[in-house]
């Protein structure tokens, strides 16, 4: 079962990726663009499914594998 492998690993760091900074961009530029927009609405949407992915970093880029999928009514 993938849960015992993942949860017992010291390398496991649960997180939610909201966005990424492109290679060559400075992370500060992204935070500057968001600064002062804490109250800005980006709309709403209905969540019908959540997928838990495993990412394996490879020289050519990350390879993503779906570990679990939950669908909501």
The pLDDT of residue 6 is: 61
Query: 3-state secondary structure string, the chain?
Result: CHHHHHHCCCCCCCCCCCCCCCCCCCHHHHHHHHCCCCCCCCCCCCCCEEEEEEEEEECCEEEEEEEEEEECC
CA distances from 39 to 8, 15, 18, 21 (A): 39, 23, 17, 22
The per-residue pLDDT for range 18-50, each reduced to its tens digit, is 777 777 878 787 788 778 788 888 788 888 999
């Amino acid at each position: 079962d993938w849960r015992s492998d993942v949860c017992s690993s010291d390398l496991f760091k649960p997180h939610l990726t909201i966005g990424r900074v492109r290679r060559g961009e400075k992370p500060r530029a992204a935070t500057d663009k968001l600064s002062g927009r804490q109250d800005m609405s980006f709309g709403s949407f209905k969540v019908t499914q959540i997928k838990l992915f495993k990412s394996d970093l490879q020289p050519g880029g990350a390879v993503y594998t779906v570990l679990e999928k939950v669908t909501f009514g």
